[in-house]
Structure 1
Amino acid sequence: MPGVNSGLIVAAVDDTDASRRALDWAAREARLLRRRLRVVHAFDWPLRQRVPHSARGFDLDEFALDDYARRVVHEAVDRVRKREPEVEVDALHVVGAVAPTLLQQSEGAHLIVAGSRGLSGVRAVVLGSVGLQLAALAECPAVIVPDRETGAPTGRVVVGVDGSPAALAAADRAFAAADARRATLRAVAVAGRSSHGVFAAMEAPEVLNDPERAAALAEARRRLSESLAGLRERHPDVHVEEEVLTGHPAEVLIAESHYADLVVVGSRGRGGFTGMLLGSVSQTLLTHTYCPVMVVHARKR
């Protein structure tokens, strides 16, 4: 059954520069994909030290939280209409728990987008609980946009592939993203022994002897080729680069993000990308990426 937000791109907004960067990315994506955009501001009543800059100077007893939230979403909608006038946009503001509100909005959505740093409800979204919950629990792919200036478009989408269900779902989304952008898809696998442990994402890169390294590289190439075969047929116009690398998965993808418009990863994996968004690897990748990161979950059966 379709979700209540079927087809929407949802952007979490507040009054920070990080949020505005994410909003601009979401608006461009909505234009590119010809999808409706919804801006959502969720704000739980802050303690005095958490009051956003724009609210300072008000007497907290007289501070109208609802009025503040209305202003945030009004400014967000106005920004979208000025920058991407062809995008259909609406707004929602909710006074309540931030993560549950955003997770609810992800139900049936095409994407949910948030900035990597911020104040108010979505402050420090990557490093704090809200961002981790979006990455781990959103019903749709979650895109985290870094709070940094980006250069000119590179015409490249990068996807981490290891043969796991989540990585296959990520590859599906990455092909679609590359197709929509008329970009090159760079599919990357990390060679190494498969590890299924809870703390696999925190393991150091393996030191392999020559026979082990050759076998690991061959296995990674096989998984990569098999993972992409059907998707190549569905997206014949997408130019694909396949690359098998060695090293730590987070470091590999961070390096790739220097030269990409988007990095796409599965929420869980095996081998080189095991537990990609659990624990230290996820925080390293999402904190240090040079381009937006899309986190995709395996399809539910």
Structure 2
Amino acid sequence: MAATNTAPVLAAVDETDASLRALDWAADEAVRRRRPLRIHHVFDWPMRHSDPRGLPGFNQDEYALRVIDPAERRARERAPGLAVTANFHVGDVAPRLLLEAARADLVVVGSRGLSSVGAAALGSVGQELAASARCPVVVVPDRDPKPPTGRIVVGVDGSAPARAAAAWAFAAAEERGAAVRAVAVHGRVSHGPWSPLDLPAALRLGPADEAAAREEAGRLLSESVAGERERHPGVAVEEVVAAGHAAQLLVDEAENADLLVVGSRGRGGFAGMLLGSVSRTVLSHAASPVAVLHAADV
């Protein structure tokens, strides 16, 4: 893991309200983690390989300062005493933020914005950060915060990324005085982002196979959280085994959670493939902030 004890919580900001919601979450998290907060804005000039300094009536430094100065004031007002720095660069947004993330403890972005093609369901930069950053990434939804529930949900499937997610979720719960709801999902379903839950009869598991799948999911769940229970004895834990589509069930669980934590087990050379279908879907649809962990993140 690249982070050190002084590595900051990195908040990526732009001119959108979504990034300000993410900034608020990042400031609160920096206080909880006793980390400094670093605010960063990347100005992505449409003619990305040229410098707009010579454009009449436009000054890129003044434009960037109109983004980061209010963001810095907002963070200082929200968390008096928190060490806050703010900076900006001109260039390609995702590569620049990935460089900044290499020196961060955690990256926080909004679920909209930070995209050169406008506000998509999940900004393309947010997706790339979640797929490729060398530290955990939290994506904060573009909606008003909900009242705290005192619950963190983590998806567990026995994989290395899911074990990393469980370790991070338990540590986060201990910091907050929250409970962990660990969820394992079983069943034969398509891996598409919103696939039908009702499979053809020929593909459905019979009662015996269904019971075996549930038992195996429960075993993997218990094994995955056993070590974390020992390391965090003060954290209340609820283990849940459910049948269905993993992404939809986790999105449903996020409705009553302060945070949803998932591991990314995607593969391939593109951000979407690196992120994995379940992680990609919950990032776009969950009502709570979503933390994405890779196996090397803890």
Report SS of the residue matched to 2:166. helix
Q: Give, in whole Å, the separation in 2 of the partners of 1:22 and 1:76.
A: 11
In structure 2, the partner of 1:93 is: 88
Q: Give, in whole Å, the separation in 2 of the partners of 1:121 and 1:77.
A: 23
Structure 1 residues 42 and 60, CA gap change in structure 2 (3 angstroms): same
Q: Give, in whole Å, the separation in 2 of the partners of 1:6 and 1:105.
A: 14
Structure 1 residues 300 and 276, CA gap change in structure 2 (3 angstroms): closer
Matches within 5 A, 1:141-160: 141-160=136-155
In structure 2, the partner of 1:233 is: 230
Gaps spanning 5+ residues in structure 1: where?
A: 48-58
Contact kept, 8 Å, 2:157 with 2:217, in 1: the verdict is yes
Q: Given the alignment of the two structures, is residue 186 of structure 1 paired with residue 186 of structure 2, yes or no?
A: no
Gaps spanning 5+ residues in structure 2: where?
A: 48-53, 268-272
Contact kept, 8 Å, 1:160 with 1:189, in 2: the verdict is yes
Contact kept, 8 Å, 1:8 with 1:109, in 2: the verdict is yes
In structure 2, the partner of 1:277 is: 275
Q: CA deviation at 1:103?
A: 0.5
Structure 1 residues 5 and 234, CA gap change in structure 2 (3 angstroms): closer
Q: Give, in whole Å, the separation in 2 of the partners of 1:154 and 1:288.
A: 19
Q: Given the alignment of the two structures, is residue 133 of structure 1 paired with residue 128 of structure 2, yes or no?
A: yes
- Superposed CA deviations along residues 234-279 of structure 1, whole A, max 9, x for unmatched, are 1010000000011111110110011000000001179xxxx89324
Matches within 5 A, 1:53-202: 61-118=56-113, 124=119, 127-192=122-187, 200=191
Structure 1 residues 122 and 103, CA gap change in structure 2 (3 angstroms): farther
Matches within 5 A, 1:45-56: 45-46=45-46
Q: Give, in whole Å, the separation in 1 of the partners of 2:115 and 2:74.
A: 19
In structure 1, the partner of 2:50 is: none
Structure 1 residues 2 and 268, CA gap change in structure 2 (3 angstroms): closer
- Superposed CA deviations along residues 160-210 of structure 1, whole A, max 9, x for unmatched, are 0001000000000000110000001000000136x9xxx845566562110
Q: CA deviation at 1:106?
A: 0.9
In structure 2, the partner of 1:37 is: 37
- Superposed CA deviations along residues 21-48 of structure 1, whole A, max 9, x for unmatched, are 000000000111111100000111137x
Structure 1 residues 93 and 125, CA gap change in structure 2 (3 angstroms): farther
Q: Given the alignment of the two structures, is residue 299 of structure 1 paired with residue 265 of structure 2, yes or no?
A: no
Structure 1 residues 126 and 105, CA gap change in structure 2 (3 angstroms): farther
Could you tell me which of 240, 245, 248 is aligned with 1:248?
245
Contact kept, 8 Å, 1:179 with 1:238, in 2: the verdict is yes
Contact kept, 8 Å, 1:165 with 1:269, in 2: the verdict is no
Contact kept, 8 Å, 1:37 with 1:89, in 2: the verdict is yes
Report the AA paired with residue 233 of structure 2. Answer: P
Matches within 5 A, 1:5-16: 7-16=7-16
Contact kept, 8 Å, 2:132 with 2:274, in 1: the verdict is no
Structure 1 residues 148 and 2, CA gap change in structure 2 (3 angstroms): closer
Q: Give, in whole Å, the separation in 2 of the partners of 1:40 and 1:120.
A: 15
Contact kept, 8 Å, 1:5 with 1:105, in 2: the verdict is no
Q: Give, in whole Å, the separation in 2 of the partners of 1:253 and 1:288.
A: 10
Q: CA deviation at 1:282?
A: 3.7
Q: CA deviation at 1:71?
A: 2.3
Matches within 5 A, 1:183-222: 183-192=178-187, 200=191, 207-222=204-219
Q: Give, in whole Å, the separation in 2 of the partners of 1:23 and 1:224.
A: 33
Q: Give, in whole Å, the separation in 1 of the partners of 2:77 and 2:242.
A: 43
Q: CA deviation at 1:144?
A: 0.3
Give the TM-score normalised by structure 1.
Answer: 0.86
In structure 2, the partner of 1:51 is: none
Equivalenced residues, count: 281
Is 146-155 or 116-125 further displaced after alignment? 116-125
Q: Give, in whole Å, the separation in 2 of the partners of 1:244 and 1:269.
A: 22
- Superposed CA deviations along residues 57-111 of structure 1, whole A, max 9, x for unmatched, are xx96321112111221111110011111121110110011100111111113111
Give the TM-score normalised by structure 2.
Answer: 0.86
